[in-house]
Amino acid sequence: MSLQIIKHSLLIDRLTRLRDKNTPKSLFRLYLDQASSILATYATQSLSLQPIEIETPLEKTSTFIFDQEILLTPILRAGLGMLKSFQSLIPEAQVFFLGAVRDEKTLESSLYHGQIPNIKHHHQVFILDPMLATGNTMVKVIRLLKNYGAISIKIICCIASPEGIKLIEHSYGDVEIITGCVDREINAQGFILPGLGDAGDRLFGPFD
């Protein structure tokens, strides 16, 4: 498994602001969007390219474009906070929404989704979720995507736990993780410590 921890001063600053419990929802959304933009540039830097002939206003020239179609898979709810930045940078990407509901007692999750897209072998799949905590949900997401043909998968998260990373490595060693930070641990409730709390609640508000 490939683990890439992005050491970028702006990203570190944005993560600090995301962690702060006093950051209001409006700024939390902004900081998550900005952090995601930085992660997106690193997530795409190694994508394969193919040659192409184009014509500028002055002459014809040879250059390169992506050789892979990109499928963005945000995990609802929190993954929605990362989607805008990725779509801004890669507007041609397809989007497949996946929802996850976690049992707060067992920490087990169940998935829900709409129509499965036609995933091709050359698709590059980016799973978007601000937090990689226990990894249980992520394993189920990866299993679903692989069952429908996904080969190249990258997990993009702001913060990851050692436990979640270990589970992904054990379950799907071919999946790459790109994160801004690896925190200390997860607690008995499945939250990352020190973490930033529940990203979905901080983006959209808790359910009553």
The tens place of each residue's pLDDT in the chain, 208 residues long, gives: 799 999 999 999 999 999 999 999 999 999 999 999 999 999 999 999 999 999 999 999 999 999 989 999 999 989 999 999 999 999 999 999 998 877 777 767 778 777 778 888 889 999 999 999 999 999 999 999 999 999 999 999 999 999 999 999 999 999 999 999 999 999 999 999 999 999 999 999 875 4
Q: What is the pTM of this model?
A: 0.92
Which pLDDT does position 117 carry in this prediction?
Answer: 82
* Tokens read off for 89: 């940078």
Residue 111's pLDDT is 84
State residue 208's pLDDT score.
46
d(CA 33, CA 203): 11
Q: CB of 47 within 8 A of CB of 68?
A: yes
CB within 8 A of 207, min separation 6: which ones?
none
Q: In the CATH hierarchy, which top-level class contains the domain 3-46+66-201?
A: alpha beta
Q: Do β-strands 185-186 and 192-193 pair in parallel, antiparallel, or remain unpaired?
A: antiparallel
What distance in Å separates the CA atoms of residue 186 and residue 198, rounded to the nearest whole number? 13
Angle between helices 80-89 and 25-43 (to 10 degrees): 50
